[in-house]
Structure 1
Amino acid sequence: MTQYVLEMDSGEKRLNELGYKQELRREMTTGSLYFWAAHLAGPSWGPFASWCCAWLEIIGLTTAIGAQAYSATQAFQMFILIATGTNKGGGYFASRSVFVCMYMGITLIWAVLNTFALQFIALLNIISIWWQVIGGLLVIIMLPLVAPSTQTASSVFTHFETSPESTGISSVPYAVVLSVLLSNYCLYGYDAAAHLTEETKGADKTGPVAILSSIGIISVFGWAYYLALTFSIQDLDYLYSADNETAGVLVPAQIIYDAFHGRYHNSTGAVIFLFIIWGSFFFCGLSVTTTAARVVYAVSRDGCMPFSPVWRKVNPRNKVPTNAVWLCAAITMLLGLPILKMDIVFIAILSISTIGWVGGYAVPIFARLVMAEENFKPGPYYLGRARRPVCLVAFLWICYTCSVFLLPTSYPIRWKTFNYAPVALGVVLTLVMVWWALDARKWYKGPVRNIDVQNGNNQHPQSHH
């Protein structure tokens, strides 16, 4: 996830440099999406639009930390298993309880790191970029070269694998529908830079540049990574076997192991590659934790959350929303407890995080689609005549992909294969809407402008930097 170096300044100095009018025109907050929703929906519908978007962001981001923690833990589990001898050679396979402990541990590490000053987080983000660029290129280039044999282009681009023995799914059209899950899960979060615009200079330009460059990098690297994996498959049926070297738990780990063991008859290269992949999950989870805390802080600053005064407090020394960070970590750890009983919990966490975060994009996009053009003031980046077709396609795509994440991924449907995302998401969103109807609509008027906060109308920690 692309980040950039944060340049800190006091609110007063920034206002003096940029001028009151320019700062007012920027109108950015750490909440990004829900602030955009309020601005684009107008004074009548703005509060409701920002309320819905804010809660979708909160749901998506807090559960996204859990999704990253689970993925990182699973990669580390495979790293240990292969390094100690594999499933066939007596290697150590972490039990459910140990898995959950590792899940909790990595969440705590992210929380601790996010309590340090923003300059330290910025340094870690720079390390993250180079780790993922260099490590990603290494995996993408080396894996197909190491593999003893590679799949044909026809097989990679035309074959549909449903794996009915392990998934219970034999319908190719249904497999095609579900195929958007992985790509859509990977292709979100590119607005992370926007959540930090209050902490950067020239946000009206650096924010969009960071978002666009992130989309480009993720698309190119993600596509290349998937191609490297699929071309390097040695035995398609063996990937899903519970008796293979990775116990049938993580298909990419088995692909990497088969490639290196087939070529060099040892697992050293696979261990190195899995460590690279684990590092990518680690840095991504760290970044998501940073983003989630910023959104919780921003939403609490506007009074949207229970006990908002607690979550909007900022550490006076490090200038970070420490309470918000630990709230996100606590929610993530609670989400991980059901893993002790069911693996399907990961599917639910992943589904909820994607629906919440991607669904949050739909609110400002729809508002932009229907708003009167004379009410919109273009910034440095403007789509012009392409704005409505692009918004329409984006909105419909979001509706489709969010619907897919509510579908079962395994059959027959039992307690251990049921996708609990619709139930969990339905309960939370119902409570949020009931709160709005009975109480919040009477007092919530939309997000607080940073300009208002800096003039002393509300507490705004970034203004004290």
Structure 2
Amino acid sequence: MDDALLAELGYKAEFKREFTLIETVAFAFSIMGVVASVSSTFSFPLESGGHVGMVFGWLVPSLFVLSIAASMAELTSSMPTSAGLYYFSAKLAPPKWSALASWITGWANVTGQVTLVCSIDFTCAQMITTAIAVGSDGAVTLGAGPTYGILWAILISHGVVCSAATNVLARLNLAYVLCCAVGTTIAAIIALLVCSGNNGTRVSTRDAFTMFENNTGWANSGWAFMLAFTAPMWTLTGYDSAAHISEEVAGAARAAPIAILVGVGATASLGWLLFISASFATQSVSDLLATTLPLPMGQLFLDNLGKKGMLAIWSLIIIFFPQYVTGAAQGVDASRVVFAFARDNALPGSRWWKQINRRTLTPVNAVWLVMGLAGICGLLGFSATALSSLAGASVIGLYTSYATPIFLRITSGRDKLVPGPFSLGRWYMPIGIVAVAWVAFIIVLLLFPSASSVTADEMNYAVVLVMAVFIFAGISWIVSARRWFTGPISNVDMSTTTTYDEKQLERRHD
């Protein structure tokens, strides 16, 4: 059934379908990595609103992201292929613009995928340096160079993990979610609430939900508050992974959309509870921002749990893999995107990146390409705004690729979609409009620096990363690709197969 549907979409089955429903949900959830992502991005709401930034800076974007997830779930249910978003754009765009829409979506998604791998692993490296600093009582403070070296060590280890067979990856993510991610997040929530109460440092409920502090340098407090949206927008990315591994999923048309919706809903809910507990435990926002530790969340745990308690909870985040497995899961996702785009000959050197390893039946070459490119992006770690630049680039790239097929769905593709098991019905239009409008707003927001006046070292380099890729892709299109790139290329015998396009015509005729 799955392989027959894939053939209708134009592709032959090349992977083993070893992801079950629960493992697919675990995979989508693991990429967003609640406690690790909140720990990594805690500085954004601290600067942009303090307590209000923590609580409502997370809640507001989460509600809008649900509209994007719902729209993507509908598209994935209809067209469950590793090509994912750029395939959706090709099928929903007007025939004249199909190839260009696919080209733009694909390059945006590749950009977001690679920079997301880098940003996740970079924050994992920062967590390790934070633990070293706390464990040595500040005697050992590692700078940008050692952090970059740790980043490469993590990327290389992820290259090995992501090259493994599909069943290994599926079991790894399931074990992570059941034993580590949810448990560690709940442990962190309880620890902050209990210890802050015992120490007498817990703030009042009124302060936890209403105290506003603008530490950005921007004069407009409303604008400053919206910059806190970076944290949830960076965390709530990568859920398109359920689409990209759909050729490895049993019952993909049903399992993939469920994974998207459950993954986003669970991450948004747990993340909000964790930020609420962090708000209660934060006695002084300015003191946390002044910490010498690489990550302010480490200082929050240290203040409330003490050295031993902080290292214990931090070890759960690092040693027991929440952040590490988040990076590994994202590496798998990114490699599948590269493989699929190369399968349609859209990348330089596509003949190498679309190869499937005969032993593991995974795209090993694509895995190592992703890790190499992520390592190059990691050079931004030598700037003062490394995380905001990498986070901004990943969100802009990914959400551009999310919004493009959704926009086409509510415009030229209104009558083109062949519904899968999950459908929004008549609600697709208002939900799609909200999703596209939110993405347009958030992309503009994330191009701005966190402070009103910046130096070259403090600049938001997201625009540099994104524009470099888009300029390259644009020039490639004008000079060459528009003559030969036609969008998704079928690699099955279409003479004996009903295609997705033919199903569209049948549906409109009916």
Shorter-chain TM-score bucket reads 0.7 to 0.9
After TM superposition, the structure 1 stretch with the greater mean CA deviation from structure 2, 424-433 or 294-303, is 424-433
Partner of residue 312, structure 1: 354
Partner of residue 145, structure 1: 194
Contact 1:28 1:450 in 2 (8 A): no
* Structure 1: stretches of 5+ with no match in the other structure: 1-12, 262-266, 457-465
What one-letter code is carried by the residue in structure 2 that aligns with 1:258?
Answer: D
Cα distance between partner residues in 2 of 1:19 and 1:351: 34
Deviation at 1:45, TM superposition (A): 2.2
- 1:41-120 aligned at under 5 Å gives the runs 41-85=93-137, 87=138, 90=139, 92-120=140-168
Contact 2:93 2:408 in 1 (8 A): yes
Contact 1:125 1:283 in 2 (8 A): yes
Deviation at 1:23, TM superposition (A): 8.9
What one-letter code is carried by the residue in structure 1 that aligns with 2:189?
Answer: I
Cα distance between partner residues in 2 of 1:454 and 1:56: 33
TM-score (norm 2): 0.79
Distance 1:402 1:284, change over 3 A: same
Partner of residue 270, structure 1: 310
Partner of residue 409, structure 1: 450
Partner of residue 249, structure 2: 200
Residue 227 (structure 1) aligned to one of 276, 300, 304: 276
TM-score (norm 1): 0.86
Residue 302 (structure 1) aligned to one of 344, 353, 362: 344
Deviation at 1:127, TM superposition (A): 1.9
Cα distance between partner residues in 2 of 1:251 and 1:26: 43
Deviation at 1:44, TM superposition (A): 2.7
- 1:115-264 aligned at under 5 Å gives the runs 115-130=163-178, 131-147=180-196, 148=199, 149-163=201-215, 167-241=216-290, 244=291, 247-261=292-306
Cα distance between partner residues in 2 of 1:335 and 1:373: 38
Distance 1:20 1:109, change over 3 A: closer
Distance 1:171 1:421, change over 3 A: same
What one-letter code is carried by the residue in structure 1 that aligns with 2:369?
Answer: L
Question: Per-residue CA shift, 1:330-381, capped at 9, x if unaligned?
Answer: 1111112342x42323322111111001111011010001035333322211
Contact 1:28 1:35 in 2 (8 A): no
Cα distance between partner residues in 2 of 1:258 and 1:122: 37
Contact 2:6 2:81 in 1 (8 A): no
Deviation at 1:423, TM superposition (A): 2.6
What one-letter code is carried by the residue in structure 2 that aligns with 1:365?
Answer: I
Q: Percent identity?
A: 27
Cα distance between partner residues in 2 of 1:342 and 1:445: 40
Deviation at 1:82, TM superposition (A): 1.3
Question: Per-residue CA shift, 1:111-139, capped at 9, x if unaligned?
Answer: 11111111111111112212101111111
Cα distance between partner residues in 2 of 1:157 and 1:70: 31
Distance 1:248 1:375, change over 3 A: same
Cα distance between partner residues in 1 of 2:214 and 2:129: 25
After TM superposition, the structure 1 stretch with the greater mean CA deviation from structure 2, 115-124 or 374-383, is 374-383
Contact 1:302 1:447 in 2 (8 A): yes
Distance 1:372 1:124, change over 3 A: closer
Distance 1:454 1:411, change over 3 A: farther
Cα distance between partner residues in 1 of 2:367 and 2:7: 31
Cα distance between partner residues in 2 of 1:83 and 1:182: 27
Contact 1:32 1:194 in 2 (8 A): yes
Distance 1:452 1:363, change over 3 A: farther
Distance 1:254 1:375, change over 3 A: same
Distance 1:422 1:240, change over 3 A: same
Distance 1:233 1:14, change over 3 A: closer
Cα distance between partner residues in 1 of 2:125 and 2:332: 19
Residue 360 (structure 1) aligned to one of 389, 393, 401: 401
Residue 482 (structure 2) aligned to one of 410, 417, 441: 441
